[in-house]
Amino acid sequence: MKKYLVLGILFILPITVYIFFAMSTSYFKPLPVLTPAVAELDGFKDLDGNPVQLEDRISVLGFFGNNLEAHRAYAYNLAQKIYSKNHEFKEFQFVVLLPEGTETQAKNIEEKLKKIAPTDAWFFAFGSTENINRVFQSLDSNLVLSPDYSTPYVFIIDKERSLRGRKEDDDAGVMYGFDSSNIAEINNKMSDDVKVLLAEYRRALKKYDSNREI
């Protein structure tokens, strides 16, 4: 009896594991696309004067306005809860759009962010207010910029420059962005959605590598 029981376990267990992973593959849900073709960051330069782009990057995009010091809590919350956990993913970046003339404020904030995590993948990008409005409007969201060109909401953009978010959030309905002033929201909802998108690209990379080996 014991022999048959052991044989049964040895036979059934691998099949059960296979079915489990097969089902998880079949029911994996990518993060929904809410807006395709978000505008590229033409005309923006980082603190070193280099261009910044969304294409071929997984980006968290923010708009912190003229008074960055007043909104520094947004940056600290994101750095602690999202950036520090994911900045080592090769093609992941944070981009915060700021009006030209705010470079000194950005340098001060960057020095403080370095105490949380290396800022290699965190970019403050500077451009005209017209370009900031252009990029924000291209998100085609239900949110608005304040008169100082800021918003606490940040947006997840994929490598194809599509805005990703939630179509059926329990609280917000369609969720275009995440409120970086709300610790619970970024620690739970946003953190989960970033993980889903990164997992989506990891799976795609593994599939590509597997096909190349074949």
* pLDDT tens per residue across span 38-88: 999 999 999 999 999 999 999 999 999 999 999 999 999 999 999 999 999
Rounded mean pLDDT, 128-155: 97
How does residue 90 score in pLDDT terms, banded at 50, 70 and 90?
A: confident
Answer yes or no: is pLDDT of 213 > 90: no
Task: Determine whether domain 34-213 maps to CATH 3.40.30.10.
Answer: yes
Looking at per-residue pLDDT, the higher value among 209 and 129 belongs to: 129
Largest interatomic CA distance in the chain: 80
| Predicted TM-score (pTM) of this structure | 0.83
Q: What six digits make up the tokens of 59? A: 């980006």
How does residue 5 score in pLDDT terms, banded at 50, 70 and 90?
A: low
Q: Which of 116, 34, 27, 127 is nearest to 80 (CA)?
A: 116
d(CA 106, CA 97): 10
Q: Mean pLDDT across the chain, nearest whole number?
A: 87
Rounded mean pLDDT, 163-192: 95
Instruction: Check residue 14 and give its pLDDT.
Output: 56
Instruction: Check residue 202 and give its pLDDT.
Output: 84
Q: Which of 26, 142, 182 is nearest to 191 (CA)?
A: 182
Strand partners, 164: 33, 156
